Structure 1
C-alpha cells in the first residue's frame, strides 16, 4: 500500500503552531514522529506546539533536549521528545529507553537518521524546508491508519478555515464509547466553541438477518441525526448547543460550548439536580415530537422506533459478552432460548406504555449544569443523536440509575417521584403503568450495559469500564424487585447474572 503523503504550506510561525496542534490531535499510543529539517526551518516551534497540545498546557516550558537527549511529558498521551544529534551510536538508544517510550505513549524524534535501523519503519516523517517567504511541511505516513488520522485532523482544520475559525487553537476535549470525539476551539474575541468530530458510522459484520448490530439497534449513522434533533429540541424549549457551522458530508460541526460545570458535584449525584433533570424530562415527555425532521432541502432525518428487535439485540449483549467473561464459556442455546422467551414477554407488556421521543442516554455525562440560569435553562443537554421513539420510562431509568455514578436509592426515588409528580400535575398520567415500564426499561438498559462495558474492555481495549460493573449489577437488582419482573429475577439469580463477579 502506498504511503500517505501530504504537504502543507506554512506562511508564518502561527501556521507552524497550528500544524503542531493538528498533528498532536491525530496521534495515538505507539506513534513515532521523525522530524527532519535544517536549522531555522521551524523544528523547535513545531515540536513545542505539538508537546504543549498533548500536555494540554499552552504555557508549558519545553526546553530543547540537545544535552539531555530526551525529555518526558505527561498529558492526554504521554510523549518523549528525543534529540539524537549528540548520539554516538545506535546502542545508546537502549540507555534512553527508546523502545519503552513507544509502549508508553508517543515519541517525537529530532535527527532521526542517527537512530539508523532502530527507527521504526512505520515512523511518520515530517520534513520542513524553506519555501519562498514561508516553509513547506511534507508529512509522510507509511501506516495507512496513521495517515487516515492525520488526514482527518487536517480536514478539521480546513473545515475551521471555511467557518472563519482557521486561526483557532484546538485542544482535545473528550471522546466517548463511540468513534465520536470533541475538541475545544478558541479564537481571540470569541467564547470557546466545541468541534464535534463525528465520522460516518462504519457498520460491522451482519449479526442477524443480514443486518449489522448498529442497523438493528438503530444507532445514528451520520451527524445529520444530531443536527435534526438539535433543531427539534431547541424548538421544543430544551437548551441544546447552537450549531454555528456544519459539514454534513464529512461529519463535522462547530457548536456552542454550553458550559463547564459538571452535573455532578465532586463526582457525586446531587438530589436537587437530578430532580431538576427529571422535571425537564417530564416537560419533554408531555410534548408531541416529530419523527421526521427536515434539516435541508431534500435531507430528512427519520427518528427510528425503539422496537422489539432493537430491545432484544441490545439486551442480548449480556449473553454475548458478559456471560462468557463471567463464566468462562459462551451462553448455550437453551439459555438463550429461555432468555429470549422472558424478554419477549416483558416487551409485550410495554405495548400500552406511553411512548415518545426517547433520548436514550439522558444521564450525567450528557447534562451540563448552569447554576446561573433559571428553570429548564439550567440544564444544557448534549449527545442526543441516537434518540428513538420509544417508552418514555427509558429516559427516567437512564437518569435515575446513572451508569457512570452511584445514585443512592433515596436520590433515585426522589428523581422518579419528581418526574411522576410533574406528569400528574399536567394531567392524564398513568403512574401504575409508568412504574411497570420503568422497571422493565431499567432492567433492559442495565442488562445491556453489563454487556457493553465488558465489550469495551474485551474488544476495544478500554478496561476502565469494568469498574462500573458492581454498580450496574446493583441497579439491575433494584429493577428486578418489581413484581412484573419476578420470573426474570428468578432466572437471573439462578444463572448468577446479578451476583458479584470479578472480571
Structure 2
C-alpha cells in the first residue's frame, strides 16, 4: 500500500472545513480508488480519492444520494469536488460484515437476513436512474473469462461458441428484469458495514449500480468470492429471500444463470488484476469462485455453457481444490 498522499489532498480538506486534520491511508481495493480516514479531535470522516481519468466519482455520488433518498443506508456526502476525484464521506467505522462474522459466526443467520431485507426493500422500489443491465453488458463481462483466464492458461478456445452459449442461457432471464430493480453489483460481506446492532447495516461500493434482475445482488451476497458461505446457509437465505420478496418465474434458474455469469466474470477479473495490474493476491480467491461456478453450471438452465466448458476447458484445469496461481502461463 502506498503511503504517499495524493497531490491536493490538504487543499481539498481545508476547503471542506477539515484543515489540519490527521490523514490515515487505508488499504486499497481492486480499483484505482484510494481511501483515507480523516480525524480531527473527536470528529472523523472518510475521504475517497477516485482520480480521473481512471475513475469518475459521479456515479458513486448519484447512487449514494439515490440510496439515501430511498431509505437505504449509504454514507452521507459531506463535501465533494468530483472533477478532481475528491469525495468526503460519513465514516461508517471498521466493523465489516465479514470480520464480524469471523468473530461471531453464531450470528450468521441474523446478519444475512438483515442484508437480504435490504435487497427486498430495493426490489420494492422503482428502479433508480441507472443504465439497464442488458445482454450486451452481460456478454462483455463474461468475455473477461476468455480474454484473461484462457490465455493465462495457454488455452485456445472457441470464443464465438462462448458468446452463443451465453446468449442462449441468458435470453430467458431478460424478461424477468423488466422493469427491473436497482442492482448494486458488488453486494457482499466486505461491502456491508455493521453500524451498531445486527440490523443496522451500511452500504459501500455501489458506484457501478445498474437496473437489472433481482437475483443478481442475491447471488453476489450468497456466492461470495471472498468469504465461504456454507451451502446450507445459502439455501436458507435463498428461501428467506423468496418468502419475503415472492419473486416471479423460475427464480432459482435465474439465480443459477446469474451466479455462473458473475463467477465467470470474476475469474477473468481476478486474472486481469494479476496480469495487468500487478495484484497477484486475487488469484487466491479463484478456487472458491471456480467451485461456485461449477455448482451453477450443474443447473439445467446452464446446459449450453456447461457443454462449452466440457469441450474447451480440460478437466485438470477445472479442479477448484488446486491453487491456480502457481500454474498460470507467464
In the superposition, the TM-score normalised over structure 1's length comes to 0.60
Q: 2:308 aligns with which of 481, 487, 491?
A: 491
What corresponds to 1:158 in structure 2?
11
Question: Quick check: which has more Rg, 1 or 2?
Answer: 1
Matched, 1:345 2:184: no
Normalized per residue, which structure has more helix?
Answer: 2
Matched, 1:199 2:51: yes
Q: 1:266 aligns with which of 84, 102, 110?
A: 102
Identify which of structures 1 and 2 has the higher relative contact order when contacts are C-alpha pairs closer than 8 Å and 6+ apart.
2
Kindly provide the CA deviation profile for residues 262-294 of structure 1, in whole angstroms up to 9, marking residues without a partner as x. Answer: 202227872321222112101111111332xxx
What corresponds to 2:148 in structure 1?
321
Q: Which moved more, 1:180-189 or 1:270-279?
A: 270-279
Q: 1:181 aligns with which of 31, 34, 37?
A: 34
What corresponds to 2:89 in structure 1?
255
Secondary structure (helix, strand or coil) at the match of 1:166 reads coil
What corresponds to 2:258 in structure 1?
441
Say if 1:277 and 1:379, in contact at 8 Å, map to a contact too.
yes
Shift of 1:344: 0.8
> Over the residues paired in the alignment, what is the CA RMSD in angstroms?
1.8
Normalized per residue, which structure has more strand?
Answer: 1
Q: 1:361 to 1:268 in 2, by over 3 A?
A: farther
Matched, 1:285 2:123: yes
Say if 2:189 and 2:221, in contact at 8 Å, map to a contact too.
yes
Q: 1:272 to 1:345 in 2, by over 3 A?
A: same
Say if 2:128 and 2:181, in contact at 8 Å, map to a contact too.
no
How far apart, in 1, do the equivalents of 2:211 and 2:109 lie?
Answer: 28
Secondary structure (helix, strand or coil) at the match of 1:361 reads coil
Shift of 1:491: 2.3
Shift of 1:238: 0.6
Say if 1:285 and 1:357, in contact at 8 Å, map to a contact too.
yes
Say if 1:397 and 1:438, in contact at 8 Å, map to a contact too.
yes
What corresponds to 1:380 in structure 2?
202
What corresponds to 2:274 in structure 1?
457
Say if 2:184 and 2:217, in contact at 8 Å, map to a contact too.
yes
What corresponds to 1:99 in structure 2?
none
Q: 1:368 to 1:284 in 2, by over 3 A?
A: same
Q: 1:307 to 1:201 in 2, by over 3 A?
A: farther
How far apart, in 1, do the equivalents of 2:125 and 2:103 lie?
Answer: 32
Say if 1:181 and 1:198, in contact at 8 Å, map to a contact too.
yes
How far apart, in 1, do the equivalents of 2:259 and 2:296 lie?
Answer: 6
Runs of 4+ in 1 over 4 A off after TM superposition: none
Shift of 1:307: 1.7
How far apart, in 2, do the equivalents of 1:483 and 1:289 lie?
Answer: 30
Shift of 1:416: 1.2
Structure 2: segments with no counterpart, 5+ residues = 326-330
Kindly provide the CA deviation profile for residues 353-402 of structure 1, in whole angstroms up to 9, marking residues without a partner as x. Answer: 132111010111110023437x4xx1100111110111121111100001
What corresponds to 1:359 in structure 2?
184
How far apart, in 1, do the equivalents of 2:311 and 2:288 lie?
Answer: 20
What corresponds to 1:225 in structure 2?
59
Structure 1: segments with no counterpart, 5+ residues = 1-23, 27-149, 203-220, 292-302
How far apart, in 2, do the equivalents of 1:436 and 1:459 lie?
Answer: 34
Q: 2:133 aligns with which of 293, 306, 311?
A: 306
What corresponds to 1:19 in structure 2?
none
How far apart, in 2, do the equivalents of 1:157 and 1:477 lie?
Answer: 49
How far apart, in 2, do the equivalents of 1:450 and 1:477 lie?
Answer: 12
Secondary structure (helix, strand or coil) at the match of 2:255 reads helix
